[in-house]
Chains A and B, each alone.
Chain A
Amino acid sequence: MGKLASEDIQIQRLIDSYLRLQVSKNGFTAEGEHLDEDFLTAFIEGNLNRREARPVVDHLAACMFCRQITAELIKLDLAFADDRARVFVEEGEPSRVSEVLNGLLSRIFGTNDDVVFAHQEQEKEEPSEKMENPPDNKQ
């Protein structure tokens, strides 16, 4: 019993050191394309089926870059686990998406670039600057 337990600990330590050392020598880094956001998310959520998951798992076992990303996303997923069902309704939302985005652009680029959103900008009288109900597109 004592020998077995000792052997278990020894093999765990051996594996631990072996893996860390391999990675520190830039081992386990696959060449080629990395996983995209779509696949990363679906993998973390356990939403890939076996057919899709097999190459993803093969890749993750070989690619340090993607594996690190998935590890961080898993931690993030757990940190925000309670947030899943929450829907936030805040007062005073801007009435149109173009206003939100133009506001963002002016903060980022220091200009209000109306041209970017010109395709959907329509001169339209808004009853008020703030809106408490969603825009209703029902005909």
Chain B
Amino acid sequence: MKHEDLVIECESVMDEIFARCVENAPNFGVLVDCFKDSLRKTAYRYLNTDSSETPTSEEISGFLRQIQADDLFLALACAGGNDRAWWEFDQQHRAYLERVARHLARTEIDAQEVVDTVYVELYGTRVVEGERVSKFATYSGRGTLRGWLRTVIWHSLVDLHRASHDEISLDEMMENVGESFAHANFAATELGGESQTIDNIARERYRKATLDSIEKAFASLDSHEKLLLLYYHVENLKLREIARMVENPASPLRGWFQRKSASRDKNPASKIHESTIMRWLEKNYAKVLKIFRTELSTTHGLSEKEIEICMGLATQDLASPNLYRNLITT
């Protein structure tokens, strides 16, 4: 079925969502066409997602029902300049925006400037073909309005910082936005001297084999498995922070990790604890280790003893002034 036809089949669902929003906020003045246009745009974006499967109209309907409709309704009303909606928005979100900005910014002035700038962007000062362009128009309702605002504040603060520090790298910039950026610094490992205990030629061979095998082992992981390792090891997210991200029982990331889990079958909405994330990580380590060993054995023809030397070499290199970098450069 054509995408247009699929969306047309969902018109009644859109009307139903609109009616519920109007009931909740009768004074926002959002026109049905404006609201449905936004839903249609989001539905087309969903349909155009790179996927081999074409969804059914039931799936699109379900997708539309998941949209944060009241938040979208408020955003569209604000985009249209409705006073009542702006009053509501200001009441519900301004103090929150200010606290987020203060949390991230280094000075009170920066925080206030960012909040002011975001308000102006949200209202929209640019006029295109006689229409004011509000930042609210880019909100689709896929996430909560509050979460979206948090992201907007974050971006705005990064832009502010970038504007005041020309030619600054992303890393440097991120380090200076919020205390948590301290972790964003990529810990480039130190160079150091070489162990003298193993013959250099054999050592080079083991190094190359180790690098090649760890690369293949990592490459063999699914994207969600790679992402978990990257969040934990590179972005320094704590277990509880990762757990927070998969708190929503409908989270696909959670679903992929739990697809073979008996506990999930029993209680799919159960809370994700830090120990659960640790288990997911351990499964990833085990998977990498298995492929790593297989690669060393089959591709590089190393014996069990030599594999142990490779493992030992890599960790020695890591523990002492790092020779692991040499693995990469050889």
**A interface residues (Cβ-Cβ under 8 A, vs B):** 7-21, 23-25, 28, 36-55, 57-58, 60-61, 65, 67-69, 71-81, 83-84, 86-90, 93, 96-97, 100-101, 104-105, 107-108, 116-117, 119-120, 134-138
Q: Would you give the 0/1 interface string for B314-330, flagging 1 where the beta carbon is closer than 8 Å to chain A?
A: 11001100101100100
Distance A55 CA – B223 CA, assembled complex (angstroms): 9
Given the interface contacts A19-B230, A19-B234, A61-B230, does A97 sit within 8 Å of B170 by beta carbon? no
Distance A74 CA – B227 CA, assembled complex (angstroms): 14
- Name 18 interchain pairs, CB-CB below 8 A, sorted by A: A7-B289, A9-B315, A15-B229, A17-B324, A18-B215, A20-B234, A21-B328, A23-B186, A23-B230, A37-B148, A44-B143, A45-B143, A50-B255, A72-B178, A73-B151, A74-B241, A80-B99, A96-B83
Given the interface contacts A48-B252, A89-B91, does A19 sit within 8 Å of B233 by beta carbon? yes
* Complex: chain B residue closest to A108, CB-CB: B116
Q: Is the CB of A55 within 8 A of B119?
A: no
Distance A69 CA – B259 CA, assembled complex (angstroms): 27
Q: Is the CB of A76 within 8 A of B103?
A: yes
Distance A46 CA – B245 CA, assembled complex (angstroms): 6
Q: Is the CB of A41 within 8 A of B142?
A: yes
Distance A14 CA – B311 CA, assembled complex (angstroms): 8
Contact residues of B between 42 and 60, Cβ < 8 Å to A: 46, 49-51, 53, 55
Q: Is the CB of B91 within 8 A of A93?
A: yes
Contact residues of B between 223 and 254, Cβ < 8 Å to A: 223-224, 226-227, 229-231, 233-237, 240-242, 244-248, 250-254
Contact pick for B318, options A7, A14, A42, CB 8 Å: A14
Distance A71 CA – B85 CA, assembled complex (angstroms): 32
Q: Is the CB of A41 within 8 A of B147?
A: yes
* Complex: chain A residue closest to B93, CB-CB: A88
* Complex: chain B residue closest to A65, CB-CB: B170
Please classify the interface of chain B as helix (H, G, I), strand (E, B), loop, or mixed, using the class held by over half of its residues: helix
Q: Is B193 an interface residue when CB atoms closer than 8 A count as contact?
A: no
Q: Is the CB of B139 within 8 A of A136?
A: no
Residues of B within 8 A of A83 (CB): 96, 99, 146
Distance A9 CA – B48 CA, assembled complex (angstroms): 43
Contact pick for B214, options A15, A28, A47, CB 8 Å: A15
Interface size, B (range): 35 or more
Contact pick for A49, options B66, B91, B218, B254, CB 8 Å: B66
* Complex: chain A residue closest to B243, CB-CB: A78
Distance A20 CA – B150 CA, assembled complex (angstroms): 28
Q: Is the CB of B174 within 8 A of A72?
A: yes
Q: Is the CB of A86 within 8 A of B125?
A: no
Residues of A within 8 A of B285 (CB): 8, 11-12, 15
Residues of B within 8 A of A138 (CB): 26-27
Residues of B within 8 A of A69 (CB): 154
Name the residue among B29, B81, B218, B230 with the largest chain A CB count within 10 angstroms. Answer: B230
Residues of B within 8 A of A52 (CB): 46, 49, 142
